[in-house]
Structure 1
Amino acid sequence: MQDSQNFDSFYLGSVRRITSYVHAMTGNLGEAEDIAQEAFAKAWQHWGKVSGYADPEAWVRTVAFRIQVSAWRKAKNRFRAQRQHGQPADQPELNPDYVAIVNALRKIPETQRRAITLHYILDLTVEEIAEETGVAIGTVKARLHRGRKTLSSHLTDSGRAVRGFGEEMHNHG
């Protein structure tokens, strides 16, 4: 219990600084938040050791930096491979309707987006979504209903795109 309280205090006292640091490195707040959370998760996994360091925050910054560098190297290698070899032959062009749906999904609340993608992309039932997300079946139904309604407001050909949503997502190639 004491370790958990110590970690919680450490996290609350340093998460903004670490996130700001990574944000300054990456220029992307969403990416910075993900990297910071991954670094803090590693700190928690090794908290018995990390908590004994003179500056645990420095350890987390170092881990965050390494995560960021690793992601940068992977992206650089992908870019280099694409430049040398072009797009992989098995990568079909994306259907414009699929692109429109994905862009619209980014504009709706995360809970609705998650329910919609689990239902229409992964073909999970309402019951399976409720179990996976830990909410009531009625909540899943409401999220699907609201999500479809909100999604349709972001699509130009809303009626067709929403009715064919599952089909579009499966046939995006």
Structure 2
Amino acid sequence: MTDELLVVRAQLGERNAFADLVRAWHDPLTSYVRRMLDAERADDVVQEVWLAVVRGLPRLRDPARFPPWLFSIARRAVTDRLREEYARPEAAHPARSEPGGEVRAGAVDDAVLDRAAVVAGVAALPVREREVVILFYLLDLSLETCAEICGIPVGTVKSRLSRGRRMLRTEFTEKGFAR
């Protein structure tokens, strides 16, 4: 069943249709939020996003636009959480846990090393670049959808992707991962 049909059925009050939407989109949503925040904060934000979806779904006029609408809500929730943290005094900021930790060449199997290095590299990107890299490469959304979610032109998405790739390439080269 298509997302569009599920959205319409959920708007009509079918609980099973909403449950199917959650099943279909919970993992991609959680993946996006966890890559933008640490796991502890991410779980709370994901819950907030689903609550906002429940409240706002009846007002969604174009059911075909559900994915960008969902990720726009998630983006605002992540931004709000980051804004709250940046407003706190420096000592009150929780330490950001870096996925993958410190990665050294030759430490583990190449496949695991490559994945760990990529996860750590993406986590180290500035927020703007990290966001578009996650949306485009990890969630496999189109440039247009990424632009809609971020509220920026497609050209800006392309430049942030380019800058993010360049930053990752530089980091991997410095750590000796160039092939």
Larger radius of gyration: 1
Give the TM-score taking structure 2 as reference length: 0.40
Give the TM-score taking structure 1 as reference length: 0.41
